[in-house]
């Protein structure tokens, strides 16, 4: 019985160690002191936080357009515009 328990314990620990770990909700986004919820999680890569531009912009009320010819993204609201390069 002890041998079976030890084997199960070793297998259990091994499985836990190999499973990919991902902390959901590790990065919280706030705008005007209110949390912004996004379907896609922000990613932390090399100490840089990457946010899904379309989802975030639309959540904040901006319209988002993709120009295939110039391969640029334009976000706008009223007379405010921002174009990516």
Domain presence at residue 3: no
Domain presence at residue 20: no
Q: Which tokens in the block code for residue 17?
A: 């160690």
Domain presence at residue 53: yes
Domain presence at residue 22: no
Cβ(58)–Cβ(64) below 8 Å: yes
Q: Which domain holds residue 82?
A: 36-85
What local confidence, expressed as pLDDT, does residue 2 receive?
59
More confident residue, 50 or 2: 50
Mean pLDDT over 68-77 rounds to 91
Domain presence at residue 11: no
- The tally of domains found in the chain comes to 1
Domain presence at residue 69: yes
Mean pLDDT over 37-52 rounds to 87
Checking if the pLDDT of 71 tops 70, the result is yes
Domain presence at residue 15: no
* CB neighbour class for 38 (10 Å; exposed up to 12, middle 13-18, buried from 19): middle
């Amino acid at each position: 019985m002890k041998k079976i328990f030890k084997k199960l314990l070793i297998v259990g620990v091994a499985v836990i160690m190999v499973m990919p770990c991902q902390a959901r909700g590790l990065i919280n986004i706030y705008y005007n002191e209110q949390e912004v919820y996004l379907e896609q999680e922000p990613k932390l890569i090399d100490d840089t936080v990457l946010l899904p531009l379309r989802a975030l912009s639309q959540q904040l009320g901006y319209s988002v357009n993709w120009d295939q010819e110039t391969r640029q993204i334009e976000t706008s609201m009223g007379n405010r515009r921002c174009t990516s390069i």
